Amino acid sequence: MTPPLESRSQPRPTIILLLLLLLPTATHMILGDGAVDQDEQHQITLASCPDKCGNISIPYPFGMKSGCFREGFQVTCNDSFNPHRAYLANSGVYQYIFEEQIRVEPEWSQVWSRSLDITAFELIDISVGKGEVRAYGAFSSMCSQNQTDYLLKNQNMKLGKKISPFLLSTEGNVVIGVGWRVQTRVYSYPWSPSVHGNSWQELILSCLSDLMEPQFLEFATNGSCKGRGCCEAALPEAFPIRELAPSFTVRKNNTLFKTNPCSYAMVVESSWYNFSTPDMYGYEVLPKKYPRGVPFVIDFSIPNGSCPAKGQPPPPDYACVSGNSSCANATSGQGYVCKCWDHYDGNPYIVNGCQDIDECKIRDLYPCTADGICKNKLGGYDCPCKPGMKGDGIKGTCTDKFPATARVILGGIGGIFIIAAISFLILLRKEKKKTREFYEKNGGRTLEKAKFIKLFEKEKLKPIFKSSNFIGKGGFGEVYKGILDNEPVAVKKPISGSVLENEQFANEVIIQSQVIHKNIVRLIGCCLEVEAPILVYEFLCSGSLDDILHGKNKVPLNLGVRLSIAAESADGLVYMHSKTNIKILHGDVKPANILLDDKFVPKISDFGISRLIARDKQHTGSIIGDMSYMDPVYLQTGRLTEKSDVYSFGVVILELISRKKATHSEGSSLVINFLEAYKKERKATHLFDKEIIVTEDLEILDSLTGIAVECLSLDVDQRPSMTDVFNRLFILNQSHKSQLVCEL
Ligand SMILES: *[C@@H]1O[C@H](CO)[C@@H](O)[C@H](O)[C@H]1NC(C)=O
Ligand SMILES: *[C@@H]1O[C@H](CO)[C@@H](O)[C@H](O)[C@H]1NC(C)=O
Ligand SMILES: *[C@@H]1O[C@H](CO)[C@@H](O)[C@H](O)[C@H]1NC(C)=O
Ligand SMILES: *[C@@H]1O[C@H](CO)[C@@H](O)[C@H](O)[C@H]1NC(C)=O
Ligand SMILES: *[C@@H]1O[C@H](CO)[C@@H](O)[C@H](O)[C@H]1NC(C)=O
Ligand SMILES: *[C@@H]1O[C@H](CO)[C@@H](O)[C@H](O)[C@H]1NC(C)=O
Ligand SMILES: *[C@@H]1O[C@H](CO)[C@@H](O)[C@H](O)[C@H]1NC(C)=O
Ligand SMILES: *[C@@H]1O[C@H](CO)[C@@H](O)[C@H](O)[C@H]1NC(C)=O
Ligand SMILES: *[C@@H]1O[C@H](CO)[C@@H](O)[C@H](O)[C@H]1NC(C)=O
């Protein structure tokens, strides 16, 4: 009894009546007891026909008793098992194993062959909605008996000929090969001669698992089916398969027969098989693991006839008898399948089979959020938002209509925002405090008094530290190029923890900032607000002497340029060594630390850096500099003197005249070669760079070698002072210049 529509406009009593009428429906909905009733009543087969075999549902058109199934869909139920097992009883649908013994040595021969019993496919389940059946299929296997003999078992699967409801599902299955040597090929007999001829066709399924060599076995990994112990191939879509026989390639030389005798091939439900390496070892491991076979998927359709054209009467014997259902021509081209409409479920092959789905009970599939009220209806469902809300419960967009609640939410958001802001401020304060602490720790107060040094804020330097500005890396840290106050600069960012703590650092920085010499790279400033102070130097555009001598694009360097580089570098070192108030040693003189400006004027960089770097007092031997240039006496004693710089400079001279890199590796050392050559004949002409060997320059080159050899003396007292070195280089340079003038 439904109240008439106009009753809504009538006075109260009727409305109460209306509510009472609605109430039972509402409780019903909430308790959800309707589903159980519906499922129990849901008929899946013809009247008075059994619908189960064991725990397997058998829906029409499948059936067991005569009159209970459509032709071709018979199922037999074997009650000697518990639970009972169901089999496809269609006489054209079966499998058998074809066995043969193959001998490969001394020559290929078939020892014997036979067909085993025909077996029906055991059913796993039937899904009429999807038009699918799952059943167990056999394995094909190839097992070696010994060095020469194989036992082959080929599964031959037949799903009927010409007119058959069954077809191998191409989407639902894959072909899998497992083992040490298997090329799985699938032979298929096409069901329609008009489609693919009338003989067995080999489907080329590129599935090859070949672990021919025993050592390849280790490449097999669990779960991976990519050709190492396991291979997988999809079935070709445009090739409807009714008959099929996976097979193997037998090869000669059977080295793994004892540990890995068997390989397997199977057509199996997609993503069912998970390869595991023990499956490759031992005899018939997989068939023993899955004695009933492997699950595979069969598509079924009503084989004869097709869906009626629009407006045409259905053919006699039309299968889609349920209301709320539709017909679809089978994609294989033969027959048709019946489907319940969307939002209907059940069996389209029986009268009243397709029933409306109560979507409100399956929220996983049919979403309706907690803010919505789910209402089932025929062929769908509604999910309006709760009273006082607007939006769509299906999309989950229900929101409150009322500004009051909105304000609460806004308030909440505001609160969160304020908390975030406060946290941010606290963090900022902490950061500032840390910045200040670092500043003080690094001797900021002392440095504030120095006139020549700029103190940079870390924010100002931040943009420089990006990878595109990176120019190099040294023992000290990373170097970046940038522009500060309109001046190109090189910024050195030390490895944290490597720099001296406290005032000592500040003092060093002050000393260096006061060093103003044409052959020394100028320290412009530093940033103390970070844990390890950052140093800012003037930027030199031609790179280092190391780049120029040994870099990728070698520039020609005549002797004149080399001499002036040597002399001027020496000048820089002299200046530092002889500064009156405090002597500054370099400690790491090498071509990479001699930078050149646009006119190739050398400037020594990283001066005093070695002193800035904290040295572990216990380990005097913790050497910071480059071993290839390091004074061996300093290495032994751990005492850095000005003569250590002299030694290193000697190596630099050798590199300048030979254009070869000094490397620390013993045997091929540039230094050793020079010293030995010089000891023998007091010259080392064969070691000179070919580019500068000119007869009239040989004298100068020999003198240069002499200076270098003296610098490299192992007796520290025999080494000249830097001043001495500079003077001699200066004279050589001058005489070379005047020589050029004379030639002109
Ligand atoms: C039937 O029962 C067996 C074992 O009792 C179980 O493995 C199988 O999943 C069940 N099948 C169905 C369709 O419920
Ligand atoms: C289809 O098969 C049914 C029996 O299953 C038969 O009665 C009918 O004549 C066949 N129809 C056609 C078009 O072959
Ligand atoms: C049931 O299965 C058993 C064991 O495989 C077999 O011996 C028997 O013949 C089968 N019964 C029927 C009715 O197929
Ligand atoms: C290999 O095994 C087969 C079958 O077991 C046997 O007939 C054959 O003699 C064996 N061959 C060798 C060389 O052992
Ligand atoms: C694969 O898993 C099995 C156990 O499932 C294990 O015994 C085997 O060692 C694993 N193989 C590899 C290569 O990890
Ligand atoms: C078989 O292969 C193994 C490994 O590749 C090799 O050592 C052996 O000599 C081969 N045997 C024959 C008979 O070719
Ligand atoms: C393989 O793994 C999947 C996913 O974990 C699982 O569903 C399936 O049952 C496994 N197959 C076998 C044969 O164990
Ligand atoms: C199915 O195929 C038949 C014959 O090929 C055709 O007349 C009919 O329109 C098709 N029906 C559908 C729903 O595609
Ligand atoms: C269609 O579905 C509705 C709702 O489940 C049901 O009441 C009706 O009987 C169905 N119609 C037919 C013809 O099966």
- Residue 466 pLDDT: 86
Do residues 397 and 472 both lie within one domain?
A: no
Answer whether 165's CB lies under 8 Å from 72's CB.
yes
- Residue 207 pLDDT: 63
- The ligand minimizing its distance to the Cα of 261 is 4
Ligand 9 centre and the CA of 304: distance in Å? 27
Ligand 2 centre and the CA of 494: distance in Å? 89
**CA of 222, closest atom in ligand 5:** 1
Among 224-238, 492-506, 654-668, 695-709, name the one with the lowest average pLDDT: 492-506
> CATH number for the domain including 729?
1.10.510.10
Ligand 4 centre and the CA of 95: distance in Å? 29
Question: In the listed set 539, 559, 590, which residue is the last one of a domain according to the structure?
Answer: 539
Ligand 6 centre and the CA of 213: distance in Å? 9
What sign does the CA torsion over 308, 310, 314, 315 have? Answer: negative
What sign does the CA torsion over 457, 458, 463, 467 have? Answer: positive
Domain assignment of residue 313, yes or no: no
> CATH number for the domain including 503?
3.30.200.20
**pLDDT confidence tier of residue 22, bands split at 50, 70 and 90:** very low
222 C-beta closer than 6 A to ligand 3: no
Domain assignment of residue 621, yes or no: yes
Q: How many residues does the chain have?
A: 744
- The ligand minimizing its distance to the Cα of 79 is 3
Domain assignment of residue 98, yes or no: yes
Pocket of ligand 1 (CB under 6 A): 55-56, 83, 125
Q: How far apart are CA 151 and CA 100, in angstroms?
A: 6
Answer whether 701's CB lies under 8 Å from 525's CB.
no
Stretch 380-394: mean pLDDT = 85
- Residue 493 pLDDT: 81
Token representation of residue 606 = 């990283």
Ligand 3 pocket check: which of 53, 74, 80, 81 to mutate, most ligand atoms within 8 Å of Cβ?
80
- The ligand minimizing its distance to the Cα of 310 is 8
**CA of 274, closest atom in ligand 7:** 1
> CATH number for the domain including 386?
2.10.25.10
186: which residues sit within 8 A by CB, 6+ positions away? 175, 202, 203, 205, 235, 241, 244, 245, 246, 247, 267
Stretch 701-725: mean pLDDT = 91
Q: Helix 670-681 to helix 642-658 angle, to the nearest 10 degrees? A: 80
Answer whether 519's CB lies under 8 Å from 633's CB.
no
Do residues 517 and 549 both lie within one domain?
A: no
Stretch 241-266: mean pLDDT = 81
Look up residue 108 and give its amino acid.
Answer: W
Residue from 151, 128, 129 nearest 141 by CA: 151
Annotate 407-419 with b (16+ C-beta within 10 A) or e (fewer): eeeeeeeeeeeee
Look up residue 83 and give its amino acid.
Answer: P
Is 493 among the annotated ligand-binding positions? yes
Residue nearest to atom 8 of ligand 4 (CA): 149
Do residues 586 and 447 both lie within one domain?
A: no
Q: How many CA within 13 A on the CB side of residue 16?
A: 3
91 C-beta closer than 6 A to ligand 3: no
Do residues 198 and 121 both lie within one domain?
A: yes
Do residues 609 and 463 both lie within one domain?
A: no
Do residues 507 and 603 both lie within one domain?
A: no
Among 87-91, 140-144, 363-367, name the one with the lowest average pLDDT: 363-367
Q: How far apart are CA 64 and CA 384, in angstroms?
A: 46
- Residue 15 pLDDT: 36
Domain assignment of residue 676, yes or no: yes
Token representation of residue 561 = 């340029």
Number of Cβ within a 10 Å radius of residue 213:
10
Answer whether 28's CB lies under 8 Å from 43's CB.
no
Could you tell me what percent of the chain has a pLDDT over 70?
81
Domain assignment of residue 655, yes or no: yes
More confident: 346 or 400: 346
pLDDT of 545 > 50? The answer is: yes
Stretch 350-376: mean pLDDT = 88
Residue nearest to atom 7 of ligand 4 (CA): 149
Token representation of residue 457 = 């804020």
- Residue 1 pLDDT: 39
**CA of 272, closest atom in ligand 7:** 11
- The ligand minimizing its distance to the Cα of 355 is 9
270 C-beta closer than 6 A to ligand 5: no
pLDDT of 287 > 90? The answer is: yes
Ligand 4 centre and the CA of 253: distance in Å? 15
Do residues 607 and 695 both lie within one domain?
A: yes
Do residues 577 and 471 both lie within one domain?
A: no
- Long-range residue pairs from 483-487, CB within 8 A, at least 24 positions apart, any chain: 484/456, 484/460, 484/524, 484/536, 485/454, 487/524, 487/538, 487/539
Ligand 5 centre and the CA of 222: distance in Å? 6
Cα-based distances in Å from 167 to 164, 171, 425, 557: 8, 11, 70, 81
Residue 315 phi/psi, 5-degree rounding, is -65, 160
- The ligand minimizing its distance to the Cα of 294 is 7
pLDDT of 122 > 90? The answer is: yes
CA trace torsion 437, 443, 445, 451 (10° rounding): -140
Do residues 218 and 78 both lie within one domain?
A: yes
- Residue 302 pLDDT: 93
Q: Which of 246-260, 340-354, 407-421, 652-666 ranks highest by mean pLDDT?
A: 340-354
- Identify any residues that bridge with 56 across adjacent strands, giving them in sequence order: 53
Residue nearest to atom 12 of ligand 9 (CA): 323
CA trace torsion 174, 178, 183, 186 (10° rounding): -30
More confident: 613 or 376: 376
Element housing 677 (H / E): helix 670-681
Do residues 160 and 209 both lie within one domain?
A: yes
Residue from 566, 607, 531, 496 nearest 725 by CA: 566
Pocket of ligand 7 (CB under 6 A): 272-274
Stretch 260-278: mean pLDDT = 92
331 C-beta closer than 6 A to ligand 8: no
pLDDT of 6 > 50? The answer is: no
According to DSSP, residue 83 is labeled S
Stretch 637-644: mean pLDDT = 84
**pLDDT confidence tier of residue 79, bands split at 50, 70 and 90:** very high
Q: How far apart are CA 317 and CA 346, in angstroms?
A: 20
> For residue range 608-623, what is the model confidence (pLDDT) as tens digits?
555 654 443 333 434 5
Domains of the chain: total: 4
* Residue 278, phi-psi category: left (phi > 0), alpha (psi -120 to 50), beta (remainder): alpha
pLDDT of 743 > 80? The answer is: no
320 C-beta closer than 6 A to ligand 8: no
Which SS3 state, helix, strand or coil, does residue 453 take?
A: coil
Ligand 7 pocket check: which of 139, 222, 269, 272 to mutate, most ligand atoms within 8 Å of Cβ?
272
Stretch 164-174: mean pLDDT = 91
Residue nearest to atom 14 of ligand 1 (CA): 55
**pLDDT confidence tier of residue 436, bands split at 50, 70 and 90:** confident
Residue nearest to atom 6 of ligand 6 (CA): 255
Number of Cβ within a 10 Å radius of residue 651:
25
- Identify any residues that bridge with 392 across adjacent strands, giving them in sequence order: none
Question: In the listed set 300, 325, 354, which residue is the last one of a domain according to the structure?
Answer: 300
pLDDT of 450 > 80? The answer is: no
pLDDT of 28 > 70? The answer is: no
221 C-beta closer than 6 A to ligand 2: no
- Residue 434 pLDDT: 75
Look up residue 614 and give its amino acid.
Answer: A
165: which residues sit within 8 A by CB, 6+ positions away? 61, 72, 73, 90, 300, 301, 302, 303, 335
pTM value is: 0.56
Residue from 292, 285, 289 nearest 261 by CA: 285
80 C-beta closer than 6 A to ligand 3: yes
Residue nearest to atom 9 of ligand 7 (CA): 272
Answer whether 80's CB lies under 8 Å from 53's CB.
no
More confident: 480 or 186: 480
The per-residue pLDDT of the chain, averaged, comes to 80
Ligand 7 pocket check: which of 136, 271, 288 to mutate, most ligand atoms within 8 Å of Cβ?
271
What sign does the CA torsion over 494, 499, 502, 503 have? Answer: negative
Domain assignment of residue 336, yes or no: no
Ligand 3 centre and the CA of 83: distance in Å? 13
330 C-beta closer than 6 A to ligand 8: no
Ligand 1 pocket check: which of 51, 52, 55 to mutate, most ligand atoms within 8 Å of Cβ?
55
Domain assignment of residue 410, yes or no: no
**CA of 55, closest atom in ligand 1:** 1
Answer whether 77's CB lies under 8 Å from 84's CB.
yes
Do residues 585 and 527 both lie within one domain?
A: no
Pairing mode, strands 477-484 and 487-494: antiparallel
Residue nearest to atom 13 of ligand 1 (CA): 56
Do residues 512 and 563 both lie within one domain?
A: no
**CA of 220, closest atom in ligand 5:** 13
Cα-based distances in Å from 33 to 165, 184, 260, 368, 382: 38, 52, 57, 19, 20
Ligand 8 centre and the CA of 329: distance in Å? 6
Cα-based distances in Å from 601 to 389, 479, 520, 562, 596: 79, 21, 10, 10, 5
**CA of 327, closest atom in ligand 8:** 13
Q: How far apart are CA 467 and CA 653, in angstroms?
A: 34
Range of the domain at 667: 544-743
- The ligand minimizing its distance to the Cα of 124 is 1
Look up residue 493 and give its amino acid.
Answer: K
Q: How far apart are CA 559 and CA 666, in angstroms?
A: 29
Residue nearest to atom 6 of ligand 2 (CA): 317
Ligand 3 centre and the CA of 65: distance in Å? 17
Report DSSP letters for 174-230, one per residue: EEEEESSEEEEEEEEEES-HHHH-SS-EEEEEEEEEE--SGGGGGG--TT--SSSSE
Token representation of residue 188 = 């298929």
Stretch 161-165: mean pLDDT = 82
Report DSSP letters for 84-131, one per residue: -EEEE--TTEEEEEEEEEEE-SSS-EEEEEEE---BPPEEEEEETTTT
Among 75-79, 112-116, 611-615, name the one with the lowest average pLDDT: 611-615
Catalytically active residues are: 588
Domain assignment of residue 355, yes or no: no
Among 570-579, 664-673, 722-731, name the one with the lowest average pLDDT: 664-673
Residue nearest to atom 11 of ligand 8 (CA): 307
Q: How far apart are CA 279 and CA 294, in angstroms?
A: 14
- Residue 194 pLDDT: 53
557: which residues sit within 8 A by CB, 6+ positions away? 548, 549, 659, 691, 692
Pairing mode, strands 523-527 and 454-455: parallel
Question: In the listed set 274, 300, 326, which residue is the last one of a domain according to the structure?
Answer: 300
